[in-house]
Amino acid sequence: MNGRVVSLGDRADPARDVVMVDGKPVHLPAWRTIMLNKSAGLVTSRKDPHATDTVMSLVPPIPGLHPVGRLDKNTTGLLLLTNDGELTFALTHPRHVVDKTYRAWVRGIPSNDALHRLRQGIPLADGVTAPAQVRRVFTRADRTLVEVTIHEGRKRQVRRMLEAVEAPVISLSRVRLGPLALGDLPEGQWRDLSEDELASLYKAAGVSRRPA
């Protein structure tokens, strides 16, 4: 790299460094992070032999692009995809507390006691959940829209938490991840993050911003 032999653990900056293998230049991909409004019915994976469609069918074929964390097959909403492995590791590692906010239509009207239990932590098969932020947003005759913010990443966690307080989920969507909000991005569509969004995301993840 740049005329010297690299060692294990060396890092290359696509914007500044020249990497050669056997005398031939290696073209490094530019760092790219995009936001997708995931549709229901898609598996959050690069490849899945058991699934007809994955989220990769909705995004461009960017080298190294992969989902950051997971959304359940039937959950919609904000999903990040990036080719920056360091950012992915930081956002998904338990030591980094990155809030995730969901909106769920649930059956019935959760009681104040149910909301209190969610805020205190719910015993699940894999342990007690961390305290969540929960509020009612809108109530109809037979269903309620609730907003739940967590920072853990257990499988089907929000659905299991709500089921545990007898508020089964009808539909679920993630509307915020750390400093990023889904906003009015249509379902099934994606967009690049803005410079301000990228800066705030890297800050929330606790890692240095990668050069463009």
Any idea which residues carry the catalytic annotation? 72
Both structure tokens of 85: 């492995």
- Provide the pairing of β-strand 33-38 with 190-192: antiparallel
Q: What is the number of residues in the chain?
A: 212
DSSP-based three-state secondary structure for 207: coil
Both structure tokens of 116: 């209190």
Q: Are 194 and 187 in contact (CB under 8 A)?
A: no
Question: What is the rounded CA–CA span in Å between residue 128 and residue 94?
Answer: 15
Identify the helix (H) or strand (E) that includes residue 146: strand 143-150
Could you tell me which residues come within 8 angstroms of residue 158 by beta carbon, excluding any fewer than 6 positions away?
102, 104, 148, 150, 169, 172
Could you tell me which residues come within 8 angstroms of residue 156 by beta carbon, excluding any fewer than 6 positions away?
72
Q: Is 188 exposed, middle or buried (0-12, 13-18, 19+ CB in 10 A)?
A: middle
